[in-house]
Amino acid sequence: MPSYAFFNKQFVPLSEAKIGIMTHCLHYGTAIFEGIRGNWNSEHQQTYLFRLREHYERLHKGCRILKINLAYSIDKLCQITIELVERCGFQEDIYVRPLAYKSSQSLGVRLHDLDSDFLALIIPWGPYLDVDKAKCSVSSWRRPADNAIPPQVKITGLYANNALAKTEAIENGFDEAIMLTPDGYVSEGTGENIFLVIDGKLVTPASYNSILKGITRDTVITLAQNELGIETVERQVDRSELYTAEECFFTGTAAHVTPIAEIDHRKIGSGEIGEITRKLQKIYSEVIRGNNQKYLNWCTPVYKKSQVAEA
Ligand code: PMP
């Protein structure tokens, strides 16, 4: 199926969306990206974009930090995304990749005196961590502090840090890395936030622990409270608490809720998917697919009724 991109202020076939080799962001990592899920519901013959607005709110924050002058409001970005998904017409789970970037054909390290542009593309994408439960290692690569490179927004250049950690973990036979803060507390996975279950409560690193404040993290905190009556404590987490937690799992737009079975060759709980994790996984998967009325305000339907009837 042909895919399309939004590029240079218009919709074009993906194969025609090309950038010049002197584009600033290519050399210096001066771009902000997002990852948004479109979840296909075959019964509804519908794709639901999950928490679309919140992703663009975060993109806008990143643009402020990198002095990217984004020509589009949050409403306009949502509208562009809906139209792009509609044009592509996938009937499966998809991943939307928006990018706000320094677009000048100009070399030299800086943020000022550069043009900016916005693009978005879509790929069909199933589960990101392709395992039902992940084996992890604590990375030798630390997450940077906010005053080194802010981890609270998705700066493309920052992800060299994540890539170092991810590949180290994979080459050592693990599925994912868990990164620590500069002072040695638990931070997050390379594309996921992390939760522990301790004494029946959820515990997750706080915003000051060099994390990206994930939209899935927020979703899970809300669902745990509303649907299971389980409170989440946001606090500094010691490395050793990982080994003794009752349960542990990752959250992320791409990874959804992924249980963690093992960390540094130590089983978490029984080494099987924990009870709370399983419940949250189930609730989350219903919510993102538009199957829970209560949370439909988080789900933006893409296809118009008439198209659905033709499909
Ligand atoms: N941390 C990092 C480093 C990430 O790249 C992601 C993925 N965006 C997350 C956490 C999870 O964030 P979200 O739930 O908003 O996708």
Residue 106 CA, ligand 1 centroid: distance in Å: 30
Question: Which residues are known to be catalytic?
Answer: 154
Which atom of ligand 1 is the closest one to the Cα of 218?
14
How do 94-102 and 232-234 pair as beta strands?
unpaired
Mean pLDDT for 15-39 is 98
Residues whose CB is less than 8 angstroms from the CB of residue 265 and which lie 6 or more positions away in sequence, other chains included: none
Question: Two tokens at 29?
Answer: 């990592």
Which atom of ligand 1 is the closest one to the Cα of 193?
10
- Report angle CA 250, 253, 257 to the nearest 5 degrees: 35
What percent of the chain has pLDDT above 90? Answer: 94
**Looking at residue 80, what is its pLDDT?**
98
- Please choose from 216, 222, 250, 288 the residue to mutate so as to test ligand 1's pocket, defined by most ligand atoms within 8 A of CB: 216
Q: CA dist 30 to 21, 68, 111, Å?
A: 14, 9, 8
Query: For 221-245, what is each residue's pLDDT tens digit?
Result: 999 999 999 999 999 999 999 999 9
**For residue 310, pLDDT beyond 60:** no
**For residue 91, pLDDT beyond 90:** yes
Mean pLDDT for 57-78 is 98
- pTM for the predicted model, two decimal places: 0.96
Cα–Cα distance, 154 to 280 (Å, whole number): 26
Name the one residue in this structure whose structure tokens are 């927020």: 218
Residue 212 CA, ligand 1 centroid: distance in Å: 6
- Please choose from 32, 193, 257 the residue to mutate so as to test ligand 1's pocket, defined by most ligand atoms within 8 A of CB: 193
